[in-house]
Structure formats: C-alpha cells, structure tokens
Structure 1
Amino acid sequence: MTSRLPTRGTEAPSGDRHTAWTPRLVRRVAVLMLVNVMVDTVIGAPLLVLPEMLDHFGTDQAAWLNASAMLAGAMWAPLLGKSADLHGTRRVLVTALLLCGAGALLCLIAPNIWVFIAGRLLQGAAVGAMFLSVALIRQICAPRIAMTAVGVVTSGSAILGAVSPFLFEALAEEFGFRSVFVVSAMVAAVTAVCVRGLLPESPVRTGGRLDVVGAVLLGGGLAAVLSYVSLGSEYGWFSAGPLALLVGGAAVLARWVVVSRRTPEPVIDIGNLSRPLVLTLLVVLLSTGAYQSMLQLLSLIADIAPADGLGYGLADQGTLGLLFALPSIGIMAGGTLAGWLASRIGPASTLAGGVAIGMLATFGMYLSISHFPAAVVFAGLLGFTAGAIVTSAFNMATSTAPPESQGVVTGLVQVMLAIGSVLMNMVGAAVLTSTTVVVDGAEENSAAGVHGYIGIAAGSFVVATVVSAVLARRRA
C-alpha cells in the first residue's frame, strides 16, 4: 500500500517538481554532484596509496583493502534503497554520508588491518549514496528534466578524475596514506550538511515496515559471493576459504528467496519485477563488467613497451596520462548526452546506443593493445560508454517503477554495477594468470591471455547489445 506523506520543513510538495532548469535546480544538482565526488574519494582515492597501506599493515591482502568498500556497497544497497522509500530519500542519504564519514575516521585511526577493513565496510555506504542521489532527482524533478539531471549528476564528477589523482598523490607524499581518509571524512561531513540544508525531502513515501531480516540476508549473501570472486583468483577457486564463502553465500541467498516469498513487504519483491527492469539489470551486469575490465586492461598494458616482444604494449609511444584522463572526460560527455537524449528518444534507446558503442570500442581494443593512438581513441570511447550506460540504466530502471519505489530500483541497479565490476575484473585477471609466459626469469602476461581477456569482454558486450536492442524495441 502506498501513501503520500505531508511535507515537513524544507520538503517539496508533490506538485512542486522542477519542470525547467532554474538556479535552484542547478544548486541542487551541484550538491548531488558533490555526493558523487565523495564516492570517488571512497572508491578511487585509496587505490593511489594501496602500496603504502600494504606496507603499513604488513599484508599482501590488496583485494580486501581495495575491494572491501565496493563489496560492502552491494550489502548496503538493498537496505538503503528500501529505507529511502519508507523514511525519505534525503534522510537516508544523509545517514549514508555520515556512515561513510565515520568509516573514514575509523580507517584513519585503525591500529590493525581488521579495524581498517571494518572502516572500509562502513565507507561502503557511500556506494549507496550514489544511487540515492539518482532516486532523489527522479522524485523532485519532472521526468523530462530528471533524465538530463541524472546524466549530469552521475557523470559530472568524473571530470575530477583527471585532477584528483595528482592531488591525492601530493597529499600522500607529504602526509602519508592516512591523508586520503582525512579528505574523505571532510568531504562526507560537508556533503551531509549541504544535502540536509539545500535539498528537499522526497515527497513520496511507502507505508509499511522495513524487512531487516531480508535486507541482511540479501546483502550478506551478495557480499559473500562477491568475496569469493574477489579472493578466488588469489587463493584458488577451490581452496577451502573462498569455497566456503561461495557455498555460504549461495545458501544465504537461497534462504533470502524463501523468506522474501513469505514476507508481506520484502525488501525486494522478486515475484513482482517487471520484464523491462529485469532486462535492464541484465544489460547493466554484462556491460558494466565488460567496460570496467577493459579500463583495467589498459592500466595493465600501459607499462609494457612493444620492444619487450610480448606482442602488445603502449609504453614509450606517447603520454600515458591521456589513457587515464580521456575516460573521465568520456564519462562526463557520455552521461550528460545520454541524459539529454533520453528525454527525447527514451532511456531504452540511449542504453542500447551506449552498449553498441561499447561493443565497438571493445573490439577496437584488439588494435589498441599495441598502437597508442588507437588506444587513446578507444579509451575515450570506453569512458563515453561507461557514462552513457550508467545514466541510461538509472533512467530506464526508474522509468519502469512508480515514484514510491525509486529507492529500491536504483538500489538494484547499484547492486548490478557492483557485481558486474567485480565479476568481470576477476574473470579477466584469472585468464591472464592462467596464460602467463616467462621472460628473463619473470612471469609476464602473454599476448594470448590479453586477446582472450578482450574476447570475454567483447562476448559480454555482444550479448548485452542483443538484450538492449530487444528492450529498446519493446519499449518503443
């Protein structure tokens, strides 16, 4: 049962949706862009100081230090999404930001790796902050304006990706790796104040209670399965620890399915998911993992020179900074353009177009692994694909759901983004590990492994292209 709650304080009445770009809407979009900047400080910035963190804690568990926040995001997403529909998107967004800030402070003072990982798990709430910003935009804007605004919010902060690495590297060199978490805590606090003071509360709420048991089962099961994928390539896919995570996670997810069918108001009503939403989630899973794995491959081959005789390599051919700056620019351009086009031709068509461009760019990687100019072009296209797909997926998912379910459906998209990213990156890494060659006594990735890596991503994009074309045709 759905209820429309009366407004309080700065809450916007349901009839007071933005129908045009005004200075007030620009300010609100800027605040939500700041939310995604904060997400970047949680997910991306620690990668720049990963070696220092490993040395400080005396461990080689890079996967846990790096991926723990993203894995925790998959656990947080269902709980935050349903909570937003019940209690208000702005309120839950502020809570997620405060949790993220607390996690950053815990990482800052962590005396050992386990306390540090606990802080990273709290920081995972930042992943939820990203999709909650999308849900809030959809609730306070008319659909035509909302689609463009979603594009700006989800991709506009990407331009900082070309600048922030230099800032964080300078801070880490001067003050140590902990400075990254000082910045993250400060940005989280400032963003929470801005969200609370400058944004309205969502005007539509659902009635009922939060299915805490279902949320814990779903989030815990997803986190365990993704942890298996994250650790399996390092410790062995059939070793005791990772295999226990897989079996335990699968059992928890199976239990969640049983419990959700018996619960009157489950955190996700799996029996009531529409076909367009299911197809959208499948496209997100396949395409997100594919383009993320390609961006990872570029970083792996950037330090290899053609003169090394491995059959690939980009070093000594040009300014490698272009390979990492252009995807950020592409994300901003692709997301903004996809949002603008979605308001005119529909998000299903823009999603299909973004996936098709990604497929072409991935096949172009066969040429890019040894030719720097081609690598620059296709890196930019992959960034463009990333922006277009994320924006279109959020727009498509929210267009299939009523206003009172925006938190849940955007949370589902976020879960698919996390699963796709972790899954395809780890599968690609496993392919490279199984096909290494020995050169001058050192193991190196082989050309066969690199080509197989690209082939898996290309195949994933081909399937995603077919599914997105079917979706676009049905929606038309």
Structure 2
Amino acid sequence: MASPVPIPAPTRDDAAGPRARLAIPVLAYCGILMAVMQTVVVPLLPDLPRLTGASPAAVSWMVTAALLSGAVLTPVLGRAGDMYGKRRVLLLSFTLMAAGSVICALTSQIGVLIAARALQGAASSVVPLSISILRDELPAERRGSAIALMSSTVGIGAALGLPAAAMVIQYADWHTMFWVTAALGATGVALIRWAVPESPVREPGRFDVPGALGLAAGLVCLLLAVSQGGQWGWGSARVVGLFLTAVVVLALWWWRQLRAERPLVDLRLVSRPRVGLSHVAALLTGFAFYANSLVTAQLVQAPRASGYGLGLSIVQTGLCLLPGGVTMLLFSPLSARISAARGPRVTLALGAAVIAAGYAVRIADSRDLWMIMVGAAVVATGTTLAYSALPALILHAVPAGQTASANGVNVLMRTIGQAVSSAAVAAVLVHHTSLVGGAPVPTLHGYLLAFALAGAIALAACAVALTIPGDTEPDTEPDPEPESESESGPDPRCEATGPARDRSPATGDGAMEGA
C-alpha cells in the first residue's frame, strides 16, 4: 500500500511554545558564563599565595586544573550527550560548574580550591553540546547564525571575565567573586531546564568506559607536560616521562578505538579529510587566538620604564580587551552569511587570514594604546570567523547522532592549541628579557617574536582550511546507513521536502508522523 504524502511537522519552536524561542539566548548565556569561568581567577593569581598561604607554583594549578579537566571531559561529555541526551548532560556540566563555584566561595585551602576548579572545568563541554542541540532543534535557515553566535561566546566571555572579576576583587572580598559565579551558574541551570528542549537524536550503544579512561590518562600526561614544561624544565625527567607516557597511552587508546564496536571517538570519521583537517585547523586556530590575549595582557601592564609598556592596571587591561569581545558579538552574524554564501571552509580560511593580518598590525605598532586595541580587535574578528566555521564544517561531515562528540573533539583540539600557545609564548618571552628596576621584564622584541609566531601559525591554519574538501567534493567514504529504521530512525541527514526540510528525526514534540 502506497504511503500518502507526509504532512509537514511543526517546527520545534511551534511545538514547544514561546520558551523554545529563548533557547538560543539561554545557550549563548551559558557559553559566555563558561568562558568567564576560565578567566575569573587570572586577576587573583598574584595575590593568591598571600591569601591562601600556598606557593606560587601551587596557585598556578588553579588555572591548570580547569584546563586539564576541561580537555578531558569535553569529548567524554560530548559522547555521553550523544548517547543519553544533550540537555541532560548540559545540565550536569553546568551543575558541576556551579558546585565548584560554591566550594571556592567557602574555602581558602589551596587543595580544595584546585579540586573545585577541576569541577568547573566540566563546563567546557557547554559549547559543543549547545551547538549539537541547535543543529537538532533549529531549521536550516536559523541554524548558521545561531551556531556562529554560540561559537563566538568563547571570546565574548573571555573579554568580559577579566575586567568584571578584577572590579569585584578590587571592591569586595575575593570569595564574593565565586558567590557571584555560583549564582550565575544556578541561574543557568534553571534557564536550561526551562527553555532548552531535549534533543531526540540519540546514538545507541554502551558507553566506552575504557576508552574514556585511556583518553583521560593520555591527555592529562600530554597537557600536564605542555603546561608545566616551562616551570619544571623541558628536559627534566618529569616532563620527558610525561611526554613518553602520553605517546604510549594515546597510541594504545587509538589502537583500541579502531577496534571497539562503539568507540568513545569514531576515528573512522577523523580519517575523513573534511573532519580530520578541520581538527588540525582547530588546533592551529586555538594557538593563534590564545596568543592575542596572553601577549596583550602582559604588554600593556609592562612598566613604562621598559620603554614600551603602558603600566596599566588589571582592570584597565581587561577594558582594553573588551572591544575584542564586542567585535566577536557583532561579527558573528557576518560569519554565518559568509558560510551560507561561500561555504564554511572559505570562512575558516578568511578568518585565519584576518588573524594573521591582526598580528601584522601588532608588529607594525605595539606602543600606542589605540593601535594595540585595533590589532587585538582585528585578531578577535578573525577568530569569530574561524570559530564559527569550525563547528559548521563538523556538522556537515558527521552523522547527527555523533555531532556532540565530534564537536567535543574539535573543542579539545582548540584547547590543546591554547595550551601549546601558552607554553610557546612563555618560552619566547623568557628568552627575551631585560632588567627594569631590578626585575626581569620581557623585551619588545620578544613580544614581536610572539606576534610573528602566532601570525605564522594563523597562516598555516589558512593553508589547512583551503585543503579541506568543499561541500561539492566527496569525502573518502560515504556516511554509514542506519541499521534499520526501527532501531535508528530515519537518516537525520536526509532532507524532506517542504517546510519540514532539514529537520532531525524526532521521537517527541515535532516528530513527523506517516499515515
């Protein structure tokens, strides 16, 4: 018996009512708050040894712990979201972040503070989970701009977090900052529960616990060596041992993932040029982007006696970086339009080229405040274009049931790039210092070398982006077909005709029903 023409299903917005229209701003709020959490401790670092009675080396773990846990948990929670529900895992990660803030607000013990910061690192999975939800819930005409906005929240939050935290610390007890972030986190949990629908797209199977543990062990060894190499010594037994352990563990993990029936990370997808090259571009873009914030913050705070420094306070420094965050917010709709017209790989290549141009401006003039701000804003503009294109490339190349885990790996590559950038910039500046008032201060030449290095990496990212296959070029192998419609549902990548075009399969509100 022939089936009649299916009646187009209502969109998710129609099915869920007015609350669903707030899903995009709610998810953007969560992304901004996640990025704020990564920077709020920076103004505290100089004073934390006195406030906690700990050594500067121990205090530095307030940053390292969040970096490590975020890198480990992002792909793990992304895979869990694909399997058990993206909204459910998003709520879990944001709850852990809010709990970490409460613990930080209640203690001054450095060990407890470090553990709480590790809890806050779970929020790093917010962006890939949110992007996956937006793919599943929004029609095609709204998806590009929403994903671009979500991607730009990383830079917006980083630009907002530094001056906001500095002002709170300047005028109130430092614990107040964590009470504020705890309240904001609790608000985010409530907003997610109220406005964000649960995606019906799931990837069946059993969670790969050995794969998660292996990835965690390998990443901890790798990122610990990268982040602490400058302090422990790059040739020290600890750092060399960590690098060797990371290589062995990750090699064994890779071997096992290729043979697992339901792997944590589907490496067969990574082997496709469109996915693998996107991950390489993410690594390089993360390096190039992070150097801007690191170097700018140190340069403008350098003493005037250095001959180039402006001697700005931490609050003034944050305000210098604020225009870059505003730029990212304003340019996110433009990036979506470029991707719609020319494709995301062109947007990625253009963004990387703009980042390189921004560093050229920094090299040309890093003495005048207005030129420093212009150069930083140009880098932020390029970052907006590149970061909005990366998830779009991933979404076009992987099945709907694996979008959160695939974007989690992409965010992981950006995180590794940022960690390597931090180590590389520190190494360059340490080797180019002079004494100013009896204290070692990086030279202007050292800063210019750091800009040149970041600009070269951005050009490399541009070159990689241009080699990514376009939408009209086939990948190395087609996407696997679902085993059966009764098990997996209709292929979420198949497009229906009419108003229901580009809708993901649904099992709840808004599902298309046949006669």
TM-score (norm 2): 0.83
The answer to whether structure 1 residue 52 and structure 2 residue 56 are counterparts is no
The answer to whether structure 1 residue 343 and structure 2 residue 333 are counterparts is no
Shift of 1:327: 1.1
2:391 aligned residue: 394
Separation in 1, partners of 2:317, 2:117: 30
Map 1:199-278 to 2 at 5 A. Answer: 199-273=196-270, 274-278=272-276
Separation in 1, partners of 2:167, 2:320: 21
Any idea what SS the aligned residue of 1:124 has? helix
The answer to whether structure 1 residue 329 and structure 2 residue 326 are counterparts is yes
1:280 aligned residue: 278
Separation in 1, partners of 2:258, 2:155: 40
Separation in 1, partners of 2:220, 2:209: 16
Separation in 2, partners of 1:411, 1:453: 28
Identity fraction in percent: 26
Any idea what SS the aligned residue of 2:435 has? strand
Separation in 2, partners of 1:347, 1:197: 32
Higher Cα radius of gyration: 2
1:299 aligned residue: 297
Any idea what SS the aligned residue of 2:47 has? helix
Map 1:60-459 to 2 at 5 A. Answer: 60-61=56-57, 62-110=59-107, 112-155=109-152, 165-273=162-270, 274-304=272-302, 308-309=306-307, 312-314=308-310, 323-459=320-456
Separation in 2, partners of 1:68, 1:130: 19
Separation in 1, partners of 2:162, 2:319: 13
Shift of 1:70: 2.0
Separation in 2, partners of 1:382, 1:339: 18
CA contact (8 A) 1:229 1:422 kept: yes
Greater Cα shift, 275-284 or 295-304: 295-304
The unaligned stretches of length 5 or more in structure 1 are 1-12
CA contact (8 A) 1:77 1:411 kept: yes
CA contact (8 A) 1:71 1:418 kept: no
Any idea what SS the aligned residue of 2:46 has? helix
The answer to whether structure 1 residue 33 and structure 2 residue 36 are counterparts is no
Separation in 1, partners of 2:138, 2:123: 23
Greater Cα shift, 178-187 or 275-284: 178-187
Separation in 2, partners of 1:419, 1:275: 20
Structure 1 letter corresponding to 2:42:
L
Structure 2 letter corresponding to 1:211:
D
Shift of 1:460: 0.8
Separation in 1, partners of 2:138, 2:353: 29
Any idea what SS the aligned residue of 1:369 has? coil
Q: Which whole-Å deviations, capped at 9, do the CAs of 1:163-189 have from their partners, x for residues lacking one?
A: 554543343344422222222222222
Q: Which whole-Å deviations, capped at 9, do the CAs of 1:390-442 have from their partners, x for residues lacking one?
A: 11111211121111111111101110111011111211111111222234433
Separation in 2, partners of 1:157, 1:439: 35
Greater Cα shift, 109-118 or 416-425: 109-118
CA contact (8 A) 2:283 2:414 kept: yes
Distance 1:85 1:130, change over 3 A: same
CA contact (8 A) 1:214 1:256 kept: yes
Distance 1:375 1:278, change over 3 A: same
Shift of 1:129: 1.5
Structure 1 letter corresponding to 2:139:
A
TM-score (norm 1): 0.89
Q: Which whole-Å deviations, capped at 9, do the CAs of 1:283-316 have from their partners, x for residues lacking one?
A: 111122112112211111113367634xx44558
CA contact (8 A) 1:50 1:66 kept: no
CA contact (8 A) 2:160 2:318 kept: no
Shift of 1:23: 5.7
Distance 1:372 1:188, change over 3 A: closer
Aligned residues: 458
Any idea what SS the aligned residue of 2:440 has? strand
CA contact (8 A) 1:148 1:343 kept: no
Greater Cα shift, 459-468 or 22-31: 22-31
Structure 1 letter corresponding to 2:35:
D
Separation in 2, partners of 1:363, 1:227: 32
Separation in 2, partners of 1:306, 1:469: 43
CA contact (8 A) 2:79 2:405 kept: yes
Separation in 2, partners of 1:257, 1:164: 37
Distance 1:464 1:474, change over 3 A: farther
CA contact (8 A) 2:35 2:161 kept: no
Separation in 1, partners of 2:191, 2:290: 31
Distance 1:167 1:452, change over 3 A: closer
Q: Root-mean-square deviation (CA), in Å? A: 2.5
Distance 1:169 1:98, change over 3 A: same
CA contact (8 A) 1:314 1:369 kept: no
Shift of 1:350: 1.2
Distance 1:245 1:106, change over 3 A: farther
The unaligned stretches of length 5 or more in structure 2 are 1-7, 474-515
